[in-house]
Structure 1
Amino acid sequence: MVTIIVIGAGVVGLSSAVSIQRALPGVKVKVVADRFYDQTTSIGAAGIFIPTTRDIPGVPIELLRRWCETSWSAYSQMATSDLASTTGHTVSHGYFLFRTKMKEIPLYASMVYSFHEMLPEELTRLGVYENFRFGYEITTIITNMRKYMTWLMTQFTANGGEVERRSIRRLSELCGQCDIVVNCSGLGSQQLCGDKLLHPVRGQLIKVKAPWVRDWVFTDTMAQIFPSDDFTVIGGVKDKDNRSMTPDPSVRQGILDRCLRFWPALTGAKVMGDWVGLRPMRVPVRLEKEALRLPEGILNVVHNYGHGFNGVVLSWGTAVEATEMVKDLISKIPPSSTGRMSRICVIGAGVVGLSTGINIQKLLPNVSVQIIADRFEEETTSIGAGGLFRPNAGHTKGHPEDVARKWANETWKFYSAMATSDMSCETGHSVSSGYIFSREEIVNPIYESIVFSCRQMSTSELAGLGITQYKYGYHITTVLTEMRKYMPWLMNKFKENGGKVEKRKIEDLSELYGQYDVVVNCAGLGSRELLGDQEIHPVRGHLIRVIAPWIKQWVFTDDDTYFITNGDSLVLGGVRQKGNFSLQIDQRDRAGILERCYKLWPALQGAKIVDEWVGLRPTRYPLRLERETLNLQQGEMKIVHNYGHGGSGVTLSWGTAVEAAQLVKDTITGTLSAKM
């Protein structure tokens, strides 16, 4: 079993430990710390969710947004559930007041329940306009840390987590005791890691009894009022590099004077006590993997510390990201640690199967990958594809457009890199310009923002080309893939990476039980028989290959009349015949294709026909890309499905292969954790 030690029992450490347990239920997680609960800095935090970029410098805004949104999602679910009284999360209304106007709308404005920029008359009615000319009225969440820390620890131990009170002075002390260390030691990382970017920022708060104060107030002068369940916290100070843990009477008086001056309603509040804590501040927050080379060996560490004033706000977001790093490290644990190398089987050797096999090899270099198929290269449907990169939302029905766009983008990155490199001739990718003609205007097609160039043609341009039957035209520079080159290149790449190949028809998935850790199904149309999937069906295609060296550009139309430059030849098409399983050449289809192409582009006449091809596009709505656990008579089998690309097999193959490889990795991570 994989063992993970989390150093630190503050809100970041406990959140990380619980997140790891949820994502990896098969691993053993232990929290080691020298301080727990009341002794942690986290216990004294005000717990208000208003993250500001000013207080979290050095972190890219989109990364910071992701962390905050992840935390907000978790906290807001708890604050509006029946767990709220147990976890300590409360929906709370209040004001953020400041003397000078902020330059930009704050990060949290789009996350919190409500956000309103206050008018001068509103500030005047509150009685604060004399001191604060600007403000926001906000409904957000306040976390009672005494409740939340207790709940986190209860969750952790209920999930089988172990706890040990111990001071770790050097990370080398943990060599041999665990597989991965997650360092959430906060300020302790000054000694533990020798981190000179980390420093304390001392805070001092006062707990008062003021049940009549219900709204929170936060100001840019560090005057703060935060009502909680059973008391109100007022503060505060930011005293850099002051390590004193003793309440300072002068600071206490200054806090009381400032808060009472701008919020007189606090008058009469009964002081219950003081709290002092040292916020672990680092610019930027450290969230990264490190392989420490120690005399005792290599120790894999995930660092997650330095959150400063925003420990509560960022804790769940960075915990989830730290968990992903742990999963990645587990997937790369050497085979000797698990007893054997993980084995993956890919069913299918079309462009989707080969691309998936290679991407698994790239992502998981320590696994063994084998492709099993009954047809290879010239026998596959992929070999006959025209290879025009033209992602079409109509081919990915059932998936949101942003998902299809993501797959297309991923493929484009790879294809365009090949087409503009010295490997272009070898891989079969080339930069190519051409036209799309349509009777209807094509609005915001997926490819518009992806390809090298895309512009709508004028009426005079269409007339100049002799195009009269189509009202709209688009000139596009994209990538063409010559499949007769690309398919052999993929196979060679797969074998060079250590991949194995077997020619065999899999009649039933149970044939593979016990031989592989994960089976990746890229069987295309074969999934009808293999899985009984009646949603996948053939869309028959017919292409005619001609020699026409005087034709340099491709043309595609909305009625499936097209010709595509393809190496030293040209392919003419086509047909889309749903449910037709015939692989025989149909003379009527042939005549129809030639007639339509000659009418569209008379310059094609005289081209010599050298070959014809018929193939069955494996079409499914939606394309199937997902994990599945099959319950067979022998036991469970882990499957990743990646099939049903239809007429977009070449266009989407690399993008869906990247995602399928990630699904395999996620599956392997869980499997290894459970077995170890």
Structure 2
Amino acid sequence: MSHIIILGAGVTGLQTAISLLSSPSTSNYKVTVIASHVPGDRSSDYTSPWAGGDWRSSASLSLEDSEVREWDKKTYDHWMMSLDDSVEEETTEAKECRLGLGRRMISYFWGADDSETTGHDGSGLWWKNDVRDFKILNLEDKIEVPKGGGAVFGIEFQSVCINVPRYLEILLDRAKNLGANVVRKEIKTSKGLVGVVRDAKQVILALVNCSGLSARNFVTKAEADRLFPIRGQTVLVKGEAKMGRSYTKIPNTNDQEVLYVIPRPGSGTTMLGGCKQSQNWNCEVDNDLSERILDRVKREGLAEELRSGKGGEFEVISAQVGLRPGRHGGPRVELEKNGPVEDIYIVHAYGHAGAGYQNSVGSAEKVTKIIRGLV
């Protein structure tokens, strides 16, 4: 029986295990997931639990992004199909709890024009015709637009919001039920991939590197230099927003700070954000930034239904920091070009930055296709 080892139990690693074990050509493989952190852990080094998260492709119309566009579409279609499937007498609430996913309308606003706002007709968004209920918003309608008055373009569509902690637990359980062996183990990074392979002391066909930012410990120095953190900070508040909302390029705002409101279906909570601070390794909560996040959401009036606290304030549950795994050149999902290590094939799947969830199904399918071709 062919044995595959997956490094990392974030959304990328767990979805890859599921894809391998549910694909007819690889379902009989032995799959072992080795990770320092697993669902339920709370560490800034473990990026997946800190995601917002929702589906909104950030891939461009460029040729370079064609594969990422394909991954994003596959994930959207997969999630929608899962939500479309019905179980007898199952309520919407029960289905969202079972899946960790929920359909929600989401509105997006831009405070300045860029390639995505070209023509103000959606033509700058490759996914315009691939998502449900897409429409251009009338900015003259003051009910659902940012109250600051700075938006130059806005859209709305049916997306999928994620109850991230629940979804990760579901992926873990599904991987185990399909036969994956999940091992919590601190990886000795000083030995690199050769050390991981030797420590396994087993006959292995391939090792899949889904280790996120930690991948820098398992690759060449030139490749490691391409990896960098994108710091994100969010505030979790009580109550579920009725829909998702996001606002970027906000006038008179630091260009590394954005606004988003992402309900976590079935959790009774909503994630407010946020920031995208490249090259920032600081895992401590910036209290001033938390205040700016809350003040910005209030100023723009994009989550009024959540202001249930004393004096019309948000009821804050927690503030948290996560480091997204950025990579110059975009995500790396490929067979190691330098050949096998100790006769074991190496497949890389890391560098998805803030798109790990929306890339997850398509990226995992590519890994499965690569491994299928090794036999």
TM-score for both structures, normalised by structure 1? 0.46
From 345, 352, 358, the counterpart of 2:5:
345
Secondary structure in 1 matching 2:333: strand
CA distance in structure 2 between the partners assigned to 1:381 and 1:499 by the alignment:
21
Equivalent in 28, 31, 35 of residue 373 of structure 1: 35
Cross-structure match for 2:71? 407
Where does residue 529 of structure 1 map in the other structure? 217
Report if aligned partners of 1:453, 1:478 keep a CA contact under 8 Å in 2: no
Matches of 2:144 and 2:282 in 1, distance apart?
40
Out of 51, 56, 59, the position equivalent to 1:390 is 56
Whole-Å separation in 1 of the counterparts to 2:142 and 2:362: 34
Residue pair 1:454, 1:477 contacting (<8 A) in 2 also: yes
Deviation string, structure 1 residues 73-105 (Cα, Å, up to 9, x no partner): xxxxxxxxxxxxxxxxxxxxxxxxxxxxxxxxx
The structure-2 alpha-carbon separation of the partners of 1:360 and 1:458, relative to structure 1 and needing over 3 Å to count, comes to: same
1:429 and 2:98 equivalent?
no
Partner of 1:502: 183
Q: In the alignment, which residue of structure 2 is the partner of 1:553? A: 243
**Partner Cα separation in structure 1 for residue 143 and residue 176 of structure 2:** 51
- 1:451-489 superposed Cα distances (whole Å, 9 cap, x missing partner): 212111123224664541101111111111211111011
Aligned partners of 2:337, 2:153: CA distance in 1, in Å? 48
1:565 equivalent in alignment to 2:263: yes
Check whether the contact 1:574–1:593 (CA below 8 A) recurs between aligned residues: yes
Secondary structure at the aligned position of 1:447 is classed as: coil
Q: 1:98-113 maps to which residues of 2 (within 5 A)?
A: none
Alignment coverage as a number of residue pairs: 324
1:297 matched to which residue of 2?
none
* Pair 460,367 (structure 1): closer, same or farther in 2 beyond 3 Å: same
**Pairwise CA distance, 1:629:** 5.5
Taking the aligned partners of 2:338 and 2:66, their CA distance within structure 1 comes to: 29
Residues 499-543 of structure 1 show CA distances to partners (whole Å, capped at 9, x for unaligned) of 101111222211314631100000010011222411111000001
Cα distance in 2, alignment partners of residues 502 and 548 from structure 1: 35
Q: Cα–Cα, structure 1 residues 522 and 464, in superposed 2: closer, same or farther, change >3 Å?
A: closer
Q: Does structure 2 conserve the Cα–Cα contact (< 8 Å) formed by 1:629 and 1:638?
A: no
What is aligned with 1:356? Answer: 16
* Contact 1:630 1:636 survives alignment (8 Å): no
Residues 1:594 and 2:274 aligned together: no
Cα 1:539–1:464 shift into 2, 3 Å = closer
Tell me, in whole angstroms, the C-alpha distance in 1 between the residues paired with 2:96 and 2:290.
Answer: 32
Amino acid at match of 1:536: L
Q: Are the counterparts in 2 of residues 344 and 370 from structure 1 also a CA contact under 8 Å?
A: yes
Tell me if structure 1 keeps the 8 A contact 2:21–2:178: yes
Aligned equivalents of 1:553, 1:424: Cα separation in 2: 15
Say if 2:231 and 2:275, in contact at 8 Å, map to a contact too: yes
Structure 1 match to 2:334: 626
Higher relative contact order (CA 8 A, sep 6+): 2
SS in 1 for 2:296: helix
Q: Is residue 2:140 matched to residue 1:460?
A: yes
Equivalent residues of 2:194, 2:342 under 8 A apart: no
Offset of residue 631 of structure 1: 5.9
Question: What is the CA–CA distance in structure 1 between the aligned matches of 2:144 and 2:248, rounded to whole Å?
Answer: 20
Larger radius of gyration: 1
Instruction: Label 1:420 to 1:611 Cα distance change in 2 as closer, same or farther (>3 A).
Output: farther
CA separation of 1:469 and 1:504: change in aligned 2, threshold 3 A: same
Q: For residue 546 of structure 1, report the CA deviation from its aligned partner.
A: 0.4
Q: Is the 8 A contact 2:32 2:180 kept in 1?
A: yes
Equivalent in the alignment of 1:657: 364
Paired amino acid for 1:641: H
Conserved in 1, the CA contact under 8 Å of 2:139 and 2:151?
no
Q: Matched residues in 2 for 1:631 and 1:657: separation?
A: 21
- The residue identity in structure 1 corresponding to 2:300 is L
**Which residue identity is paired with 2:99?**
T
Read off the aligned partner of 1:555 and give its amino acid letter.
R
**What is the DSSP-based 3-state SS (H/G/I as helix, E as strand, rest coil) of the residue aligned with 2:128?**
helix
Distance 2:182 2:351 in 1: 22
What fraction of aligned residue pairs are identical, expressed as a percent?
25
- Compared CA separation, residues 584 and 464, structure 1 to 2 (3 A): closer
Q: Is the 8 A contact 1:455 1:474 kept in 2?
A: yes
- Output the CA distance in 1 between the equivalents of 2:207 and 2:342: 14
Please state whether the residue corresponding to 1:583 is helix, strand or coil: coil
Contact 2:40–2:169, Cα closer than 8 Å, also in 1: no
* Cα distance in 1 for residues equivalent to 2:77 and 2:110: 27
CA offsets, 1:218-240, max 9 Å, x none?
Answer: xxxxxxxxxxxxxxxxxxxxxxx
Structure 2: distance between partners of 1:600 and 1:489: 35
> Counterparts of 1:412 and 1:654 in 2: how far apart (Å)?
9
Q: Residue 562 of structure 1: SS of its match in structure 2?
A: strand
The Cα of 1:411 is off from its aligned counterpart by: 0.7
Deviation (angstroms), 1:638: 0.7
Aligned position for 2:168: 487
Amino acid at match of 1:383: P
AA aligned opposite 2:156? H
Contact 2:139 2:145 (8 Å CA) reproduced: no
Contact 1:538 1:618 in 2 (8 A): yes
1:558 maps to amino acid: T
Could you list the per-position Cα deviations for residues 114-148 of structure 1 after superposition, in whole angstroms to 9, with x for gaps in the alignment? xxxxxxxxxxxxxxxxxxxxxxxxxxxxxxxxxxx
Name the aligned partner's letter for residue 665 of structure 1.
Answer: R
Q: More displaced, 647-656 or 421-430?
A: 421-430
Please give the alpha-carbon distance, in whole angstroms, between the structure 2 residues aligned to 1:575 and 1:465: 21
How far 1:545 moved relative to its partner? 0.5
Q: Secondary structure at 2:356's aligned position in 1? A: helix
1:378 is matched by which residue type in structure 2? G
Partner of 1:100: none
For residues 329-361 of structure 1, the C-alpha deviation after alignment (integer angstroms, 9 at most, x for no partner) is xxxxxxxxxxxx110000000000000011011
Cα distance in structure 1, aligned partners of 2:57 and 2:144: 27
Partner of 1:611 in structure 2? 318
* Equivalent residues in 2 for 1:105-144, closer than 5 Å: none
Aligned to 1:444: 124
Distance 1:666 1:457, change over 3 A: same
Kept in 2, the 8 Å contact 1:629–1:636? The answer is: no
Q: Say if 1:538 and 1:619, in contact at 8 Å, map to a contact too.
A: yes
Q: Distance in 2 between matches of 1:547 and 1:649?
A: 25
Aligned residue type for 1:653: S
Tell me the distance in 2 between the aligned counterparts of 1:405 and 1:642.
Answer: 16
For the 8 Å contact 1:456–1:473, the answer to whether it is kept is: yes
Aligned to 2:171, the other structure's residue is in SS state helix
- TM, length-normalised to structure 2: 0.81
Distance 2:144 2:34 in 1: 51
Whole-Å separation in 1 of the counterparts to 2:6 and 2:56: 27
- The residue type paired with residue 153 of structure 2 is Y
